[in-house]
A = this chain, B = another copy of it.
């Protein structure tokens, strides 16, 4: 909004041109990434201040809706995406909110690294008014893509750098993964359980899984490592992890599974091994996806996330000009049924 950019809001490109560096260098400086020389960092910061560049994509709002469409992009292969009840529900929320703004979703796919160029070009090509990006992994290439866009961007899931810092340039909507996990484990403690195991998601790769494990450790800082088993958010993985836990610690009396699908697998293994739920082993899941929790035996105690609302909030952040703060962490709550 200064004379340097002739009244336009300055873009990342303006900063790069004036500082005489590449756009990705500007993006690295803005996001606080390492491996940029100190004098370059200083130079870029000076230009950012001079131009009044606001490194928040969400600040450039969908005021003029030229295409009537918002891109939805997830860094998961197509078939995993289609079978993910969480994504199905989140996308429904995004689409419902978009519809209320007279806009619609177009879904693009990122099955393998070759797809990135095409998707990035499409997003930059004026075919969409904004982008809702679902990032699962710290250091995801989606962040880099987002930095280069001149349209509003919102992330589903907190966007993280490889070193675990939050990317500050973009708005995001996330669930309270850590707080929800704490509620689940506190509930098991309150029931008098003393040997509480956890089946985790891929915590070395996905932020939500790392946060849910952190919540378990918040409540049980002294838990034995043998009570933690890593799985992959699938039912089959949950079943195998439960078997491994029972082999190692036959006397365990509770398990917190970091997703409903994994909890379903755990229930199956417990049944096969003749353990009664909740009498012998209490089980708590995470997500509260009705497709799953309606059909478990016994009904699953789990941590509820309002996934559709999270999707709606993502779309709203693209449209809301005065969103402060630009990011939202949606609370979770424990839903007590019979499994714990």
Residues of A within 8 A of B (CB): 67-69, 71, 78-79, 81-83, 88, 91-92, 95, 99, 102-109, 111, 114-115, 118-119, 121-122, 125, 127
Known A67-B127, A82-B82, A127-B127; judge A106-B104 contact (CB<8 A): no
A69 contact set on B, CB distance < 8 A: 118, 122, 127
Cβ-defined contact, A115 with B104, below 8 A: yes
- How many identical subunits does the complex contain? 2
Given A67-B127, A106-B108, are A95 and B118 also a contact pair (CB < 8 Å)? no
Further 8 A-B residue pairs, CB within 8 A, beyond A104-B119, A104-B122, A107-B107: A69-B118, A78-B92, A79-B92, A82-B82, A99-B114, A104-B108, A104-B118, A106-B106
Complexed CA–CA distance, A268 and B119 (Å): 43
Pick the contact of A107 from B68, B106, B125 — CB < 8 Å?
A: B106
* Neighbouring B residues of A91 by C-beta, 8 Å: 78
Cβ contact within 8 Å between A68 and B106: no
Which 6 pairs from chain A and chain B are nearest by CB? A107-B107, A127-B127, A82-B82, A104-B118, A106-B106, A82-B88
A105 & B109 in contact (Cβ 8 Å cutoff): yes
Q: Which residues of B contact A115 (CB under 8 A)?
A: 99, 104
Query: How distant is the Cα of A83 from the Cα of B82 in the complex, in angstroms?
Result: 7
Complex Cα spacing A68 to B122, Å: 7
| In contact, A88 and B92 (Cβ under 8 angstroms) | no
A209 to chain B, nearest CB (A): 23
Contact A79 B68 (CB under 8 A): no
Task: Let me know if A67 and B122 touch, CB within 8 A.
Answer: yes
Contacts of A119 in B (CB 8 A): 104
Cα–Cα, bound, A176→B82 (Å):
27
Complex Cα distance, B95 from A7, in Å, reads: 42
In the complex, what's the smallest C-beta–C-beta distance from A79 to chain B, in angstroms? Answer: 6
The interface residues of chain B lying within 8 Å CB-to-CB of A118 are 68-69, 102-104
* Complex CA distance for A103 and B92, rounded to whole angstroms: 26
| Whole-angstrom CA separation of A114 from B107 in the bound complex | 18
Pick the most buried of A69, A71, A82, A106: most chain B CB atoms within 10 A of its CB.
A106
A79 vs B122: C-alpha distance when bound (angstroms): 25
A84 nearest in chain B by CB position: B82
A118 — nearest CB in chain B belongs to which residue?
B104
Q: Name 15 A/B residue pairs within 8 A (Cβ), A-sorted.
A: A68-B121, A68-B122, A69-B118, A78-B92, A78-B95, A79-B92, A82-B83, A95-B111, A99-B114, A102-B118, A103-B118, A104-B109, A106-B122, A107-B107, A107-B108
Closest to A66 in B: B125
Give every chain B residue within 8 A of A81 (Cβ-Cβ): 82
Given the complex of chains A and B, what is the CA–CA distance between A111 and B83 in angstroms?
A: 18
